[in-house]
């Protein structure tokens, strides 16, 4: 810079103004949900006896992690502007495939695990393929997959094993090592921590890195914000969406293997309705239903709120007849608080 250079233009582009750390924080999509989570935590810490014990914390984290593992890819998919209604039963499918392949072929449990991964990714790929080729709304496509999978889970299981639940594979080779990976637990300071918590945190970290640090992350925001504009600047919209659906497939595989290796027998009718819980967790975590906005950390916090609420009600020993009502009210309040904080943040920035 030379001495003759003009002084800095005072009214320079506002997008280049360095934001204060506080303002940066307020603009984060998960801020509202973090405030909501703190509120829910404080609430149950006061009203529920035993909520603050270490052992209880392990239980709450486990409940949150089983939702959270699926809420992460569902959140990414929502940021990319799509839904997946088949995510709940896909978890059951992943568990059933794994169990039945191992049992029917009398193969090592890991063989079933590998085939299950392929099937889960395949279902995600199918969703993405049908969606991008037919341009049908994801609501219809994944509703179709949801119904087909529900029927396949029941029909195929009964056809192959003769009953509606799978046979036990606990006595088969490879079961123990697979259980160690998907369903083990350790005790830390009185709290039993399940390995699903590690999977959950790991997936959140990976998803956050993808969203914020990679080109693919930019593509996700772009296709969710405006798919046509994204395509115009060269974003491979179809590939991005298909990969997002395969991400849901991958996490459903992890979730399904946990289900199988912790209970070793799978009921074929399970999982229906869970897809909504994953979507709810993502929405509480600040993902916009219309796409283009949200975060993986937010979805994790959303799952955590869900875990705290559903178990907090038990710790508080409220009348169980009102369980669903309390759950609904807590969720609504958390989401409202989240929306309010976001609005305040947008108004001050």
Site for other proteins in 73-102 (CB under 8 A): 101-102
35 touches other proteins by CB under 8 A: no
Distance separating the N- and C-terminal Cα atoms of the chain = 32
DSSP 30-79: THHHHHHHHHHHHHHHHHSTTTTSHHHHHHHHHHHHHHHHHHHHHHHHHH
Q: Which C-beta is closer to other proteins: that of 46 or that of 118?
A: 118
Determine the 3-state secondary structure of 8 from DSSP: coil
Task: Report the alpha-carbon distance of residue 347 to residue 349 in Å, rounded.
Answer: 6
Token couple for 116: 């299950």
Query: Per-residue contact track with other proteins, 196 to 235, x per CB under 8 A?
Result: x---------------------------------------
109 touches other proteins by CB under 8 A: yes
Q: Which C-beta is closer to other proteins: that of 31 or that of 121?
A: 121
Task: Report the alpha-carbon distance of residue 109 to residue 174 in Å, rounded.
Answer: 5
Q: Which C-beta is closer to other proteins: that of 165 or that of 218?
A: 165
110 touches other proteins by CB under 8 A: yes
107 touches other proteins by CB under 8 A: yes
Q: Which C-beta is closer to other proteins: that of 14 or that of 321?
A: 321
With beta carbons less than 8 A apart as the criterion, state whether 75 and 296 touch.
yes
Token couple for 158: 């009964």
Q: Which C-beta is closer to other proteins: that of 225 or that of 236?
A: 236
Among 20, 106, 214, 290, binds other proteins (CB under 8 A): 106
Query: Minimal CA–CA distance to 261: which of 333, 194, 190?
Result: 194
Strand ranges in 125-270 using DSSP code E only, listed in sequence order:
185-188, 191-194
Q: Which C-beta is closer to other proteins: that of 7 or that of 162?
A: 162
Token couple for 337: 């608080």
Q: Which C-beta is closer to other proteins: that of 221 or that of 315?
A: 315
The site for other proteins, by CB under 8 A, has a size of 78
Among 83, 103, 182, 278, binds other proteins (CB under 8 A): 103
The gap from C-alpha 278 to its chain's centroid, in whole angstroms, comes to 6
The total number of residues shown for the chain amounts to 349
Among 26, 31, 34, 48, binds other proteins (CB under 8 A): 48
Region of residue 280 (phi > 0: left; psi between -120 and 50: alpha; otherwise: beta): alpha
280 touches other proteins by CB under 8 A: no
Among 86, 120, 127, 242, binds other proteins (CB under 8 A): 242
Chain residues 296-325 in contact with other proteins, contact rule CB under 8 A: 307, 310-311, 314-315, 317, 320-321, 323-324
267 touches other proteins by CB under 8 A: yes
Query: Per-residue contact track with other proteins, 140 to 179, x per CB under 8 A?
Result: ----------x--xx--xx---xxxx-xxxxxxxx-----
Among 268, 295, 335, 338, binds other proteins (CB under 8 A): 268
With beta carbons less than 8 A apart as the criterion, state whether 62 and 303 touch.
no
């Amino acid at each position: 810079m030379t001495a003759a250079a003009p002084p800095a233009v005072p009214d320079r582009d506002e997008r280049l103004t360095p934001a204060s750390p506080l303002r940066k924080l307020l603009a984060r999509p998960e801020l509202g949900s973090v405030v909501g989570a703190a509120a829910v935590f404080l609430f149950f810490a006061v009203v529920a006896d035993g909520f603050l014990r270490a052992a209880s914390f392990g239980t709450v984290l486990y409940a949150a992690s089983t939702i959270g593992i699926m809420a992460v890819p569902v959140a990414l998919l929502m940021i990319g502007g799509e839904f997946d209604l088949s995510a709940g039963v896909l978890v059951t499918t992943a568990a059933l495939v794994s169990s039945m392949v191992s049992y029917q072929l009398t193969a090592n449990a890991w063989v079933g695990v590998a085939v299950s991964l392929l099937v889960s990714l395949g279902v995600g790929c199918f969703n993405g393929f049908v969606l991008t080729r037919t341009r049908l709304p994801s609501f219809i496509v994944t509703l179709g997959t949801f119904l087909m999978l529900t029927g396949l889970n029941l029909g195929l299981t009964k056809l192959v094993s003769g009953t509606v639940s799978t046979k036990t594979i606990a006595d088969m080779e490879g079961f123990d090592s697979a259980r160690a990976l998907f369903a083990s637990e350790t005790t830390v300071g009185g709290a039993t921590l399940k390995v699903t918590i590690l999977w959950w945190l790991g997936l959140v970290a990976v998803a956050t890195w993808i969203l914020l640090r990679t080109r693919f992350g930019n593509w996700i925001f772009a296709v969710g914000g405006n798919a046509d504009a994204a395509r115009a600047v060269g974003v491979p919209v179809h590939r991005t969406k298909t990969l997002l659906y395969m991400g849901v497939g991958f996490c459903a595989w992890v979730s399904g293997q946990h289900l199988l290796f912790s209970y070793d027998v799978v009921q074929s009718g399970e999982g229906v309705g869970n897809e909504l819980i994953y979507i709810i967790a993502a929405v509480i975590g600040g993902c916009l239903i219309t796409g283009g906005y949200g975060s993986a950390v937010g979805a994790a916090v959303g799952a955590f709120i869900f875990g705290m609420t559903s178990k907090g009600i038990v710790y508080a020993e409220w009348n169980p007849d009102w369980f669903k009502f309390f759950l609904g009210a807590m969720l609504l309040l958390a989401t409202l608080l989240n929306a309010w904080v976001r609005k305040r943040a947008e108004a001050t920035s």
